[in-house]
Amino acid sequence: MAPASSQPARSFLSRFLDFVEWGGNKLPHPAVLFAVFALSVVVGSAVLSAAGIVAVHPTTGAEIRAVNLLSAEGLRRIITSLVQNFAGFAPLGTVLVAMLGVAVAEGAGLLSALIRMVVLSAPKRLITLIVVFAGIMSNAASEAGYVILIPLAAVIFHAVGRHPLAGLAAAFAGVSGGYSANLVLGTVDPLLAGITQEAARIIDPAYTVNPASNYYFLAVSTFLLTALGTWVTEKIVEPRLGRYEGDAKPEAMDRLKPEEKRGLWWAAAVSAVFIGLILWGLLPDGGALRDPKHNDILHSTFLTGIVAFIFAGFLLPGIVYGVVTRSIRSEGDVIGFMSKAMGTLAGYIVLVFFAAQFVAFFSWTNVGLITAINGAQFLKSVGLTGIPLFLSFIAVSALLNLLMASASAKWAVMAPVFVPMFMLLGYTPELTQVAYRVGDSTTNIITPMMSYFALIVAFAQKYRKDAGLGTLTAIMLPYTVVFFVGWALLLLVWMWMGLPVGPGAGLLLPGSN
């Protein structure tokens, strides 16, 4: 009789994720994928046009036909619009401008000091809650949470006698599992809003989506996910990990230096003045930041120009902090931080070029509109609306995230189909966007396609040398399940109560029942 294997049987989850990783590694670069998608749209438009695919617009009664981009007229449009498609792609400018400000705050050390202050000043009994909350809030600071908070959380847990991987997991759950939730607007908000707006204009060419359109729901989600993440860490993850008996020794806590504390005080003062100026322009009747035509806040200069305020909101305190701590000694340092950030976005800019062509081509062919009309009619015929519809959509978003982790890249593909489709069913683009964000965020922490997943595995190996994909997935899976169920239920309750998901962003379009 053959001796039993000393290796424990691999779980179905580990085998499945190994398959996903293998399959994902076989896919070409996302930029190449978008180039293929764009080419497929051009070729497909000729096929659909020849097949006589047609739909009747439910509002205007107009007959919508597929447009052939392989025709002489279509090719001329492709050639002459190539640059404009790229330069006019809404998410590109918003991300670049916002990142310029974030880069200065991050490069000067402000974001690192702020995160350390919040976490290190917490009472021991509140450490888990503060770590998860800080992780969620760090999303406004781009990659700072991944590279600063996650390893720091493991150090903190280890220093207070708790399992370091539990701290790593709590921070990772907040930073990545709660990616879309926050109490402040970040770079992802204008990015997704721009994609949603372009998709909504397939139906309504005048429709606008402001970056704060999901703020109410996501602000409440911050507290829900903080509570859920704390509960999962202390009731499921930490008991399963048990007492840490590895070789790593606790590290001395790196508390804030006097100059860092002075820098934070000065940065806080500048931020307070900046916020005060914004309120001075918004709150008084006829304020300079209100909408000059209707004198309201909904269409105010502040909300429509939110990217500029995100830029300044990070830039000004970042410069002040850097000057006080002497991490900024000249204007050259500021430009250097910005230049470095633009360098890290080079891959994103290349991806956007091809994504912009795909989005434009898809819109020109009318395929998205025809699919939306026919898809909406099908959903109506089978009665899949309301709660079942949104639960299905959230689940689809979560599953797709296992294979394609970029929130903006997926949304650039999904939005042109689902936003118009849901609009024809009577739901606002803002509600569709927030449902997508719920599904997209919850599986970030278990997909190897997420760009920082390998880095988190490396952090885990500091405390458990044999840690790998299955190790991290097994630790993070409870967060995914609990976040998915809890967050989806919050959205359904939100819809049942008829609450707006953000400023001026209701659930139903005017005239819908």
The partner residues of 65 in beta bridges, in order of sequence, read 54
CA separation for the pair 186, 141 (Å, rounded): 7
Residues contacting 402, CB < 8 A, separation 6+: 20, 443, 446, 447, 449
Q: Which position has the higher pLDDT, 469 or 323?
A: 323
Give 451-501 pLDDT, tens digit per residue: 677 677 778 888 888 777 677 888 888 899 899 999 999 999 999 999 999
CA separation for the pair 187, 181 (Å, rounded): 12
Residues 187 and 310: beta-carbon distance below 8 Å: yes
Query: How far out from the chain centre does Cα 121 lie?
Result: 28
What pLDDT sits at residue 300? Answer: 75
Give 413-457 pLDDT, tens digit per residue: 778 888 888 888 889 999 999 999 999 889 888 876 676 776 777
- Name the band, by pLDDT with cuts 50, 70 and 90, for residue 13: very low
Q: Find which of 121-125, 135-139, 275-279, 385-389 is predicted with most confidence, using mean pLDDT.
A: 275-279
- Which tokens hold the place of 232? 């999962």
Q: Is the pLDDT of residue 237 over 80?
A: yes
CA distance to 156, 278, 367, per residue, from 149 (Å): 10, 30, 44
- Which tokens hold the place of 275? 């916020």
Q: Taking Cα atoms as reference points, which of 350, 377, 325 lies closest to residue 64? A: 377
Pure H helices in 257-330: 258-282, 301-304, 306-325
34 exposure class (CB count in 10 Å sphere: 0-12, 13-18, 19+): buried
Q: Find which of 9-23, 182-196, 373-387 is predicted with most confidence, using mean pLDDT.
A: 182-196
Q: Is the pLDDT of residue 348 over 60?
A: yes
Q: Taking Cα atoms as reference points, which of 479, 486, 406, 415 lies closest to residue 33? A: 406
Q: Which position has the higher pLDDT, 188 or 364?
A: 364
Q: Taking Cα atoms as reference points, which of 331, 510, 343, 312 lies closest to residue 423? A: 510
Q: How many residues does the chain have?
A: 513
Residues contacting 150, CB < 8 A, separation 6+: 135, 168, 171, 172, 175, 456, 459
Residues 174 and 134: beta-carbon distance below 8 Å: yes
The DSSP line for 3-33 is: PPPSSPPPPHHHHHHHHHHHHHHHS--HHHH
CA separation for the pair 246, 450 (Å, rounded): 27
Mean pLDDT of 77-86: 92
Mean pLDDT of 314-322: 94
What pLDDT sits at residue 27? Answer: 58
CA separation for the pair 411, 419 (Å, rounded): 10
- Which tokens hold the place of 73? 């007229």
Q: What angle do CA 309, 268, 99 make, to 5 degrees?
A: 35
CA separation for the pair 213, 429 (Å, rounded): 10
Mean pLDDT of 393-422: 79
Mean pLDDT of 122-135: 86
Secondary structure (3-state) at 61: coil
Give 287-310 pLDDT, tens digit per residue: 888 878 777 765 678 877 777 888
Work out the angle between the directed axes of helices 90-108 and 188-200 (0-180°, nearest 10): 180
